Amino acid sequence: MIYSANNHFQSLYKKTNPEFGFAAKSTAELTIWQNRFRARLREVLGLNRVQDDLKDIRPIAHLVDEEDAGEFIRQRWVLLVEPTVPLPFILLKPKEIPGLLPLVLTPHGHMKNTELYAGITTSEAEQEFMLEGDRNIAVQAVREGYLVIAPTARGFGETRTEQDKAGDKQNSCRDLLMHDLLVGRTPIGDRVWDISRLLDWALETLPVDPQRIAITGNSSGGTISLFAAALDERIKLSAPGSYFCTFAGSIGSIYHCECNYVPGLLTLGEMPDIAGLIAPRSFIAINGKEDPIFPIEEVNKAFDHLKKIYTVAGAPENVALYVGQGGHRYYKAGSWPFIRRYFAQK
């Protein structure tokens, strides 16, 4: 017998019989399913442990610098999300703020320059990379007239290990995962915690309309956009880019960064089940037809499942899929018309 690793792993996935695979037939059953699933997902991600350890923490932010970027104001801040974890973020503000504004959170993907989304580049090649793939997402959002927070994800930038900083490595995702596992936490859980603390601070400090809060990012920024909205209901719209798919057909069969993996996740549910925790709030998946690590066939399979959840939720109009003709990148033509339409209704 010739061993095939992929065949073996896929056979394991087929045997999981997920505890929270969606089967609700009514909105009442949907609500019960969401409440139970959300509670278990928080536990598996380690968020309950983080909450217990940090129950008395208040988000304290420090302004580092401010500049007039021409069309908008750009500020650098640091938020203390744990007593030992300072989280840098960039705040983009329109120059005119007539009242409460929508807020868009834009977590970045795997990249060395964590300020790229805010339009900050270090070379002509990086500038071309940013514009070619619509990666200046925070700048796009502030040009729409929104307040924007572009955070540095845990494990990147200043929250890399000392060794990885010295070696000029892009991230410390593996170290973050390994140390988190020892104490019952996960990188995804950490990053969801950070988004929620940024929201605490923004709602307390900025002129934010609480009914118009969205999150959108690409690749691992899409991961954070999905999980944060699934677990923090203050987020009213989620638009993950180059991420929504099936676990079995993407991170379960194609090489991905270690930060994507959560112990026992497939025993709870597939990715569209997690996205179903957002229903009936608005959700749009933004994917590339030629994305090699999130295959479009698996994207379509996941979206068909998610549409059933939104139909039971009584909100089929609140879910959409945009497919760009390229590969693994962001597609602003898919995100902003959907986000704009939602914000205009509120």
- pLDDT at site 315: 98
Tokens 């899409």 belong to 222
Cα–Cα distance, 34 to 28 (Å, whole number): 10
Taking CA atoms, 335 is separated from 132, 178, 321, in Å, by 16, 34, 10
Average predicted confidence (pLDDT) for the chain: 97
What pLDDT is stored for residue 20 in this prediction?
A: 98
Single-letter amino acid code for the residue at 78: V
Question: Where does the pLDDT of residue 174 fall: very low under 50, low under 70, confident under 90, or very high at 90 and above?
Answer: very high
- Please report which confidence band the pLDDT of residue 59 belongs to, taking 50, 70 and 90 as the band edges: confident
**Residue 26, in any domain of the structure:** no
Where would I find the H helices in the chain?
Answer: 5-14, 27-45, 47-53, 124-132, 137-143, 162-166, 173-182, 187-205, 220-231, 265-268, 271-275, 296-312, 332-345
**Tens-digit pLDDT profile for residues 198-249:** 999 999 999 999 999 999 999 999 999 999 999 999 999 999 999 999 999 9
Q: Containing domain of residue 208, as a range? A: 36-345
Average pLDDT over residues 316-335: 98
Domain annotation covers residue 20: no
pLDDT the model gives residue 55: 83
The structural domain count of the chain equals 1
132 belongs to a structural domain: yes
pLDDT digits (tens, 9 = 90+) for 137-172: 999 999 999 999 999 999 999 999 999 999 999 999
pLDDT-above-70 percentage for the chain: 100
Give how far the C-alpha of residue 256 lies from the chain's centroid of Cα atoms, to the nearest Å. Answer: 16
- In the structure encoding, which two tokens stand for residue 37, read together? 């699933």
Q: What is the DSSP string of 48-64?
A: HHHHHHTTT---EEEEE
Note whether residue 57 is domain-resident: yes
**149 or 6, which is more confident?**
149
**6 occurs within a structural domain:** no
In the sheet with 282-288, reading across from the earlier edge strand, the strands are 60-68, 72-82, 85-94, 147-151, 101-105, 208-215, 237-238, 282-288, 319-324
Instruction: Kindly report whether the global pTM for this prediction surpasses the value 0.75.
Output: yes
- pLDDT for residue 112: 94
Dig out the tokens for 19 from the structure: 């505890």
Among candidates 133, 106, 140, 126, which has minimal Cα distance to 290?
Answer: 133
Cα angle at 263 between 259 and 266, to 5 degrees? 105
Give the pLDDT mean for 284-295.
Answer: 98
Residue 251: inside a domain: yes
Residue 112, in any domain of the structure = yes
Provide the CATH number for the domain around residue 90.
Answer: 3.40.50.1820
Predicted confidence at residue 57, as pLDDT, reads: 79
Question: In percent, how much of the chain has pLDDT > 90?
Answer: 97
pLDDT score at 1: 82
Report the pLDDT value the prediction gives residue 58, as an integer from 0 to 100. 80
pLDDT confidence band for 191 (50 / 70 / 90):
very high
pLDDT for residue 282 is more than 80: yes
Q: Give the integer Cα–Cα distance in Å for 258 and 173.
A: 6
- pLDDT for 305 equals 98
> Is pLDDT of 346 > 80?
no
Does 63 map to a domain? yes
- The tens digit of pLDDT for each residue in 69-108 reads 999 999 999 999 999 999 999 999 999 999 999 999 999 9
